């Protein structure tokens, strides 16, 4: 069997040719400083890159500190506030007072039997204000006096019956206890009348002619006024006179300051023509008298 040929290099150089010089050692490449510095496997390249990055970071931080916003001054704050006031419409003092007292105002209705005694009929509508969150309500005595059934409607629409727990006839005040109250019942805040003065702004909230809750704004016209009922049967003293519009149905409602705090209970209007409509003079019982009707500590 024939074997395949094997090939190999000859170890003998031709006699007529000088032997090749030996390969030069790679000393030159290693001795070249530039090539030795940029060798990818050389750790000094990594340290050099880190050093460059550190320098760039320091420069960046320095520039950012130089360009940081300046410290706000009081003039800047004043200018921003003024700009907001010029471009934003804020609610009026009357609107804020109304929103503060509205959750505490209730509609009060008295019911009695019809003449034939067969059905229950409405015979009077007024207003009340919750002064204790357990459902204790102040109103006028003339709103509920003689009623066989009293119903109140809270600001959230909840309707409940109520009964009279106290009365102060000399100031035409009655205290009611509601049988049901809202889960989030909010009582009004009462405020002393000691620092009231003519010209102070006030707000009357109630159900004039059953419409409401309605708000009317005015000022304190005078203090310590006296009012005699049209029939002459009763005279009340030490009343607050005010000019916010009040009409039948406002009786028993709160008279409040621009902070929404109750300073009086609306009780009467003065009309020389006996038309039972507002001519600019109304009266309220000071809240100190009203508070004493429920046994609350005077201010």
What is the mean pLDDT, run by run of 10 residues, along the chain of 299 residues? 43 49 49 50 66 71 61 84 80 94 97 85 93 94 94 96 94 95 94 95 96 96 91 85 95 96 94 76 92 66
Ordered structural domains, the chain, with CATH: 102-178 (2.40.10.10), 201-293 (2.40.10.10)
* pLDDT (0 to 100) of residue 41: 57
Determine the 3-state secondary structure of 130 from DSSP.
strand
Beta-strand relationship, 105-113 and 282-286 = unpaired
* Catalytically annotated residue among 104, 142, 214, 221: 142
Does the active-site annotation cover 251? yes
Q: Quick one: 270 exposed, middle or buried, by C-beta within 10 A (0-12, 13-18, 19+)?
A: middle
Tokens describing residue 53: 């990055």
Tokens describing residue 238: 């030490």
Could you tell me the CA-to-CA distances from 111 to 27, 164, 178, 213 in Å, in that order?
A: 120, 14, 15, 20
* Catalytically annotated residue among 104, 160, 216, 251: 251
* pLDDT (0 to 100) of residue 147: 93
**How far apart are alpha carbons 36 and 12 in whole angstroms?**
39
* pLDDT (0 to 100) of residue 28: 46
* pLDDT (0 to 100) of residue 21: 52
* Catalytically annotated residue among 172, 216, 221, 243: 172
């Amino acid at each position: 069997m024939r074997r395949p040929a094997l090939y190999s290099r000859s170890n003998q150089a031709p006699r007529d040719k000088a032997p090749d010089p030996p390969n030069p050692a790679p000393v030159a490449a290693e001795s070249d400083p530039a090539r030795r510095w940029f060798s990818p496997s050389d750790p000094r390249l990594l340290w050099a890159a880190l050093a460059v990055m550190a320098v760039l970071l320091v420069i960046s931080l320095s520039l950012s500190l130089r360009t940081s916003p300046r410290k706000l001054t009081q003039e800047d704050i004043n200018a921003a506030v003024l700009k907001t006031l010029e471009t934003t419409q804020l609610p009026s003092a009357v609107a804020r007072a109304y929103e503060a007292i509205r959750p505490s105002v209730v509609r009060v209705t008295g019911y009695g039997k019809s003449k034939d005694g067969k059905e229950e009929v409405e015979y009077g509508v007024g207003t009340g204000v919750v002064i204790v969150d357990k459902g204790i309500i102040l109103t006028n005595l003339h709103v509920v006096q003689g009623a066989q059934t009293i119903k109140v409607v809270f600001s959230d629409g909840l309707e409940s019956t109520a009964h009279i727990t106290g009365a102060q006839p000399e100031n035409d005040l009655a205290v009611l206890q509601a049988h049901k109250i809202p889960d989030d019942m909010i009582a009004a805040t009462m405020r002393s009348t000691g620092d009231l003065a003519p010209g102070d702004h006030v707000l009357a909230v109630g159900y004039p002619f059953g419409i409401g809750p309605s708000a009317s704004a005015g000022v304190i016209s005078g203090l310590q006024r006296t009012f005699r009922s049209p029939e002459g049967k009763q005279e009340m003293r030490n009343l607050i006179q005010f000019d916010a519009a009040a009409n039948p149905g406002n009786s028993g409602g709160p008279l409040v300051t621009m902070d929404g705090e109750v300073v009086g209970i609306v009780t009467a209007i003065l009309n020389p023509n006996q038309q039972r409509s507002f001519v600019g003079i109304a009266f309220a019982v000071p809240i100190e008298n009203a508070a004493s009707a429920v046994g609350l500590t005077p201010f």
